[in-house]
Structure 1
């Protein structure tokens, strides 16, 4: 008898495989312990230096790509790659260039702004979370030293292999590199962490708030200056066309180059327009100048931005002095400053104005100095914003003094209102930040409990893990030092209202 089953009697194969059931393990879930902050100088350097070095490396890669493209397009010898690379690095860090004795110190600000943004981003990634004051000092030293050393090396090498290029002046090279690195560090640390540092050393936070008012004042003026430049470009379009017609051969590539050059120097033009709106001037050498009250022209370089300068000053031009006055008044009314904050606003606007004028101006060949007169523009910014802020502070003080007292306050003062923002970092006292916080441990315990199944064995293991975790938290809290939270802000001095 054949024991084989017939085909129709055989069991069918399963086409779908049933998933295997995972065996439950009794291993308790360990909470994640945060990595302790570095406590020694060597540990801090090993932690912070590689993180910040990513930004200079990216700048070097971008400059290398641009240099290689330039060599390929020009069909130049390979030695030109090194020269263009060195020049590109120095230009992106504000160092003036000298070619066959002719100095170009008016450098485009767009590459400098990009470098500042990249450096500030790396600083922000380092100081995010809990840091100590010593950590900030190390980050500042690294953020200043690495770009400065690389820039000095590039200047020295360019002096040896630059050919027609000479090494840039040492003072300008070091000064501009320091300013760029310091600005990037200040921006990267952030407002709230600076407030925490100020409270730690009993520095009035109103001064920092005033500096932010100065920044807001200049940003608003920058937007209005860009708008005025657009209006001038429309009104003086015939002169721009005549200037372009002065070129003997101007093909599509030449027009593209002029447009790119104009965009690269657009921040420089905005800074010059701000200086003019404040009541200052824009100088071209020892004889040429342009302002709201007078214009003295000399033969200018054939560039579209120079074609925006009118030959004579309009008699209605002084009306534009109302622009900084209105902007300063709007900023002051929104801030409701006290005298200390008003002083900080004026000083902040003056400091940012003179630094911007220094980076956006310089020597332009045989013309000499080209750009706004920095100290005049800074003094006018101090007077406009600082003076009007003091006037608004006095007006608010008089209004509060003579206002009738009611049962309930109709408006909230700055002592009752504070801006609520997500903290970007904390200042921790001592050399080492605490390894864990009880609040963080509680959150981790809740997340563990929500993920654990409800059977008896797993619940028992979870309770054991919680007990061990609580014991570790108690020991950490005993060893940890006092933490200063940027959000724990006392009432601002003098009753100013935070607007950030």
Structure 2
């Protein structure tokens, strides 16, 4: 016999897989350990490639694995110290690659465990960030204070936890509904402002990259000469190329700050659209894009953030019918781009040893404020003027003729009723007066009682005094 089936019930094919606590913990532990091991192996493989191709470098597996420990911390954006000072200007490209690796690992764990609720993402995020924090603090502790490269254990612990935690949240945000929860808490106008702000930040980064490419192209002879100074071998050229590639995002952030007007400084060298101060710079081909003197056309870079602000205003001109609401969307976009610029500028600079090239400064606060102004002011003006205008209030509708005629008829009926009432009142008054006249005496004599009738005999009889005895 066929077993009956219940229509509309949730089948096992659409339910998320159910795991026991042991299996759940095993998946999380495997994911966290795998992200740490894969990242460490990637750093070790890169160092092995550089040392194997260098001309005078000695290659050993133990030495590469030992050198990968501080490299793993640098990839997590943890400052390291050495006898010559502190390396605080850390390359952003390895940090971005590590965050991408952790994000993919967190997303894979969420898929394997069938997580789909926001609160379920806590286990993945806490496990991955905790594993990276413990490994980072342990590496900094084992490096000690007497080694050639040192790091602070507390800074390594919390720094690794922060970097890996942000990456893990980004990995599970879409799968566990964190993005929907965030967007559900804001109105559609602010949602469009957030998207426009993210696009504005991306456009500002593209403008900085374009400015950097123009600088490298105009100074290509200097760039080529700096590559040749490295020794001319494959290993040295590869090392310089990897160094420039790792610091390429830092240079783009510096160019972004330059386009906004905040500029940047490298030791005694200070570059901005309106001011310039020369000095020595490291012999790195990437720095050949720096101008050697104040350029008259450098203030023209202000057209880039201004154009981005105009584009933001055009993109948000249809965000709402009210001009004030459109301006609010532009302000949300400007604040989003400003906060993004603040974070990027804060992590792009730092100390560079103890020589003449330190510190490398990208003024984060000034760059963020200028970014907000470049996006907000032209964007608000364009959104206010180019958007739809609110419709004028409709003219008052005149009452139809039929209604007016009915009203006139009602007024005439009321007047007729009043006339009839007055005529009735006059008739009643006349009737009352006639009745009063019937009761009154003529000629105005006073009213008296009628005399009683007398007998004939009484009339004929004289008075008693006149009668004979």
**Shared fold, TM over 0.5:** yes
1:165 is the counterpart of 2:146: no
1:216 is the counterpart of 2:199: yes
Q: Label 1:305 to 1:166 Cα distance change in 2 as closer, same or farther (>3 A).
A: same
1:270 is the counterpart of 2:252: yes
Q: Label 1:130 to 1:99 Cα distance change in 2 as closer, same or farther (>3 A).
A: closer
Deviation at 1:262, TM superposition (A): 1.5
* Aligned equivalent of 1:196: 180
Query: C-alpha distance in 2, partners of 1:111/1:280?
Result: 26
Question: Normalized against structure 2, the TM-score is what?
Answer: 0.69
* Aligned equivalent of 1:322: 303
Q: Label 1:81 to 1:244 Cα distance change in 2 as closer, same or farther (>3 A).
A: closer
Q: Label 1:82 to 1:257 Cα distance change in 2 as closer, same or farther (>3 A).
A: closer
* Aligned equivalent of 2:66: 83
* Aligned equivalent of 1:469: none
* Aligned equivalent of 2:86: 103
Q: Is the Cα contact below 8 Å between 1:198 and 1:204 reproduced in 2?
A: no
Deviation at 1:269, TM superposition (A): 0.9
Counterparts of residues 302-321 of structure 1 (less than 5 Å)? 302-321=283-302
Query: C-alpha distance in 2, partners of 1:28/1:134?
Result: 37
Counterpart pick for 1:395 among 385, 393, 397 = 385
Query: C-alpha distance in 1, partners of 2:346/2:21?
Result: 35
Query: C-alpha distance in 2, partners of 1:172/1:55?
Result: 17
* Aligned equivalent of 2:333: 345
Q: Label 1:127 to 1:196 Cα distance change in 2 as closer, same or farther (>3 A).
A: farther
Counterpart pick for 1:60 among 33, 36, 40 = 40
Counterpart pick for 1:117 among 100, 122, 129 = 100
Query: C-alpha distance in 1, partners of 2:160/2:363?
Result: 17
- What is the count of residue pairs matched by the alignment? 376
Question: Normalized against structure 1, the TM-score is what?
Answer: 0.66
Higher RCO (C-alpha 8 Å, min separation 6): 1
Q: Label 1:199 to 1:283 Cα distance change in 2 as closer, same or farther (>3 A).
A: closer
Deviation at 1:271, TM superposition (A): 0.8
Please give the per-residue CA displacement for 1:344-396, whole angstroms capped at 9, x wherever unaligned.
21222122112212222211112332141111111112222233343344335
Deviation at 1:151, TM superposition (A): 1.7
Q: Is the Cα contact below 8 Å between 1:222 and 1:270 reproduced in 2?
A: yes
1:381 is the counterpart of 2:360: no
Query: C-alpha distance in 1, partners of 2:50/2:241?
Result: 18
Counterparts of residues 36-55 of structure 1 (less than 5 Å)? 36=16, 45-46=25-26, 48-55=28-35
Q: Secondary structure at the match of 1:401?
A: coil
Query: C-alpha distance in 1, partners of 2:108/2:166?
Result: 16
* Aligned equivalent of 1:3: none
Query: C-alpha distance in 1, partners of 2:224/2:148?
Result: 34
* Aligned equivalent of 1:226: 209
Q: Is the Cα contact below 8 Å between 2:52 and 2:235 reproduced in 1?
A: no
Q: Is the Cα contact below 8 Å between 1:207 and 1:343 reproduced in 2?
A: no
Q: Label 1:44 to 1:395 Cα distance change in 2 as closer, same or farther (>3 A).
A: farther
C-alpha RMSD of matched pairs (Å): 3.5
* Structure 1, unpaired ranges of 5+: 1-25, 406-500
Query: C-alpha distance in 2, partners of 1:217/1:199?
Result: 19
* Aligned equivalent of 1:5: none
Q: Secondary structure at the match of 2:274?
A: coil
Q: Is the Cα contact below 8 Å between 2:313 and 2:382 reproduced in 1?
A: yes
Query: C-alpha distance in 2, partners of 1:92/1:224?
Result: 26
Bigger radius of gyration among the two: 2
Query: C-alpha distance in 1, partners of 2:20/2:386?
Result: 50
Q: Secondary structure at the match of 2:133?
A: helix
* Aligned equivalent of 1:489: none
Deviates more, 1:299-308 or 1:365-374: 365-374
Q: Is the Cα contact below 8 Å between 2:310 and 2:378 reproduced in 1?
A: yes
Q: Label 1:84 to 1:280 Cα distance change in 2 as closer, same or farther (>3 A).
A: same
Q: Is the Cα contact below 8 Å between 1:71 and 1:78 reproduced in 2?
A: no
Q: Is the Cα contact below 8 Å between 2:137 and 2:156 reproduced in 1?
A: no
Q: Secondary structure at the match of 1:363?
A: coil
Query: C-alpha distance in 2, partners of 1:192/1:404?
Result: 47
Deviates more, 1:175-184 or 1:330-339: 175-184
Counterpart pick for 1:354 among 342, 366, 386 = 342
Q: Is the Cα contact below 8 Å between 1:122 and 1:188 reproduced in 2?
A: no
Q: Is the Cα contact below 8 Å between 1:280 and 1:377 reproduced in 2?
A: yes
* Aligned equivalent of 1:257: 239
Query: C-alpha distance in 2, partners of 1:48/1:158?
Result: 28
Query: C-alpha distance in 1, partners of 2:298/2:85?
Result: 35
Q: Is the Cα contact below 8 Å between 1:280 and 1:291 reproduced in 2?
A: yes
